[in-house]
Structures are given as structure tokens and as C-alpha cells.
Amino acid sequence: MEDVTKDPSPLAVKETHKKDERAPAPKPEPKDYGRKQRGNEYTENRQKEPDLFIQERVQQRLSLLEQNPNSLVYSFNHPQIKERLLQLVRLLDAADATIREEWGYGITMEEILEWDKVLNQVKNMAEKITSTALRLGEDILMFDFSEIKHQRMRDKIAFVETSDVPVEILINNSNIALPLFEMIITIDKYDSVIRRHFNTKMVKEQWIDQINGFIDLLKKSNKTAYALIYKAKGGVIKSIRFVNLKKEIHSYREAVQREEAIKNNDSRKKPKPNE
């Protein structure tokens, strides 16, 4: 029998004895998608490290806390509650502080008294919701708002520095803020408990409908505040010291100007009596 290993085929000889002496091709350099060339300069659009964002956020919270030592420190369990209520309450708080500042300048005593009636309605409804939460959930969950209200400064700082979740600094700019913050925090504490332990009809009628009604009242009250502030400022909003309120008054001014433009156009189109 013929020994195949001693008499390889020409193809086998070619594959075993011929070596590729060419230098290996250089590997392509990885593309830098974080750079953008502009002439001879490069601008880097790299994202900041997550840890750096967290550190910056913590420092911002600590700075706010230092500037406002009487503020509350709280971490929400339900983001949807914070989103639906907190911004509206902060706007009302800023609006009330601004209205007080304008009292005697662009706002009269009569207007202040009417505004106080609006705030009392808001405060009373907030206290009613707080009482409802405590009544429905008192046998299920123990919660004392005074622990948050009277928290020591060093404990606030420690909470901000060590919390694994975002922490809110709830600043009181006016007297209306504290009862509204108490209501929001109480809702956040009891909402899931109430929804789990009571039937759908009872939850809707005694809980959800109250909260939705309060949100509508907040929106209506804020619009009343915007009208007062716009009148007092004469449409000039640069001096408003609250950024969130300044944006809302700016939008309110644009809406007023649009309405006035529509009225002017309608009046021009109406035929004169003699025509």
C-alpha cells in the first residue's frame, strides 16, 4: 500500500512548505465617535460619568439646604405623585410670596383680601385630604409628619449625602407652603396603602376624586395668581425672583397678548353702524 505521508500531493506540498512572509496588515484604529472635527480643533462631546452627575446633584441639594435651613428634606416613593402635585404647589408658593412683595405697589388691599380667600380654600382642601389619608390608613400605617418637619440640620445633610434615590428640598417661601407640603408627603405615604386595602369604588370616591379636585383647584388658583402678578408688574416680568414662576408669567403674558390680538382683529372686521 502506498504511503501517502511520504508522497504528498502538490497541493499539500504548496500548503505546508510555502510561507507567507508578508507583514500583517495594521489593525484599523478605533473611531472616536465622541469627537467632532472643526478645522484644526476638536471638541469632545463625551458624556459625564454617572458618579459625577450624582455628586453634582448632591452638592446642589446641600447648597439649597444651606441657603434654606428651614426647608423640608424628603424622598418620594411615587414619582407620579410628585409630578402631578409638587410643581403646582411650588408655583403657588412662589406666587403667594411675589404677591405679598407687590402689596401696596401694584396690588391693593382689596385684591389681597380676595387672594387670601383663594389661599384659605386651597389650605382647607389640603387639610381635608390629609385628614382623609390618616383616617383611612391609620390602622395600617403609622406616619408622623412632625418627624420630617422638625428634623435636625445634621440629619437632613446626612440624608442628602447618603440617599440612594433622588432627594427633594422643599423650600417654604410663604405661609401656604407647609400645609401643602404636608399634604403631598402624606399622600405619598398613604396612597398605595389606601389603594390596596379598600375597594375600587371607595378609593375613587373618597380618595382619588378628592386629589383630582384639589389639582383642579391648584391650577385655577395659580391662574388667579398669574393675573394678579401680571397686573402688578405691568407685563414686565424681569424682576420676578422665582425662575419657575417667571416662565409661567411669561406664558401667561403671551396668552393675554394673543387674546388681545384676536379681539382687535374681530373688532376691525365688524361693520360700522352706518355701513
Contact (CB, 8 A) for 74 and 178: no
* pLDDT at res. 125: 97
Residue 9 burial (CB count, 10 A) = 9
pLDDT at 64 over 80: yes
Q: Is the dihedral of CA 170, 171, 174, 178 positive or negative?
A: positive
Nearest to 159 by CA among 75, 273, 215, 70: 75
Asked if residue 137 has pLDDT above 50, the reply is yes
pLDDT, mean over the chain: 84
Q: Give the integer Cα–Cα distance in Å for 76 and 86.
A: 10
Q: Pull the grid cell for residue 33.
A: 465617535
Position 78 confidence tier, pLDDT thresholds 50, 70, 90 = very high
Band (138; pLDDT cuts 50, 70, 90): confident
Task: Give tens-digit pLDDT for 191-216.
Answer: 999 999 999 999 999 999 999 999 99
Encoded amino acid at 274, one letter? N
Question: Do 65 and 157 form a contact (C-beta atoms < 8 A)?
Answer: yes
Which pLDDT does position 40 carry in this prediction? 44
Q: What is the pLDDT of residue 55?
A: 85
| pLDDT at site 51 | 75
- Res 1 pLDDT > 90: no
pLDDT at 273: 58
Q: Supply the pLDDT for residue 7.
A: 44
Cα–Cα distances in Å, from 71 out to 74, 148, 150, 188, 244?
A: 10, 10, 10, 18, 18
- Cell numbers of 79, please? 414619582
pLDDT of 161 reads: 93
Q: Which residue bears the cell 391662574?
A: 223
The domain spans of the chain are 50-233
Average pLDDT in the 92-110 region? 94
pLDDT score for 32 = 46
Phi (first) and psi of residue 264, to 5 degrees: -65, -40
Mean pLDDT value of segment 11-25: 47
Residue 186 has pLDDT above 60, yes or no: yes
Q: Which residue has the higher pLDDT, 175 or 8?
A: 175
Q: Which three cell numbers stand for residue 195?
A: 389603594
- Of the pLDDT bands very low, low, confident and very high (cuts 50, 70, 90), residue 8 is very low
pLDDT at 257: 87
- What pTM does this model have? 0.76
Beta bridge partners of 132: none
Q: What are phi and psi of 233, to 5 degrees?
A: -85, -10
Q: Above 50 in pLDDT, residue 69? A: yes
Pick the range with the lowest mean pLDDT from 148-157, 168-177, 248-257.
248-257
Question: 238: pLDDT confidence band, cut at 50, 70 and 90?
Answer: confident
